[in-house]
């Protein structure tokens, strides 16, 4: 299934040396999946506090783009930090 392939370790040739860094595409996919989760949470909380689904959707859809961009930049910056990494 798709999930089996998603979580299956990639085959690595002997020519590839593990550097302990994630590729940018991994950070991008993580950013998208995290933002979907965060946006659903924001919409639900906004709806709860405002009582308006329209306002909640406006808030959720506005914040999704800015927070995804901020997360991506944050993730790429942390990729340069060696704190807590086993090499």
Average pLDDT of the residues in 62-86: 87
Phi-psi group of 83: left, alpha or beta (phi > 0 → left; psi -120 to 50 → alpha; rest → beta): beta
- Is the pTM above the cut of 0.75? no
Please identify which residue in the block is written with the tokens 């990729």: 79
pLDDT tens across 51-61, in order? 999 999 999 98
Boundaries of every domain in the chain: 23-87
Tell me the DSSP string of 75-86. Answer: HHHHTT--TT--
Residue 24 has pLDDT above 70, yes or no: yes
Percent of the chain topping pLDDT 70? 78
């Amino acid at each position: 299934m798709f999930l089996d392939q998603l979580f299956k370790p990639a085959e690595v040739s002997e020519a590839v040396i593990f550097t302990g860094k994630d590729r940018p595409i991994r950070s991008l996919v993580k950013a998208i999946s995290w933002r979907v989760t965060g946006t659903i949470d924001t919409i639900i909380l906004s709806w709860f506090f405002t009582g308006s689904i329209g306002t909640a959707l406006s808030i959720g859809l506005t914040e999704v783009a800015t927070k995804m961009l901020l997360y991506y930049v944050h993730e790429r910056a942390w990729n340069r930090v060696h704190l807590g990494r086993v090499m």
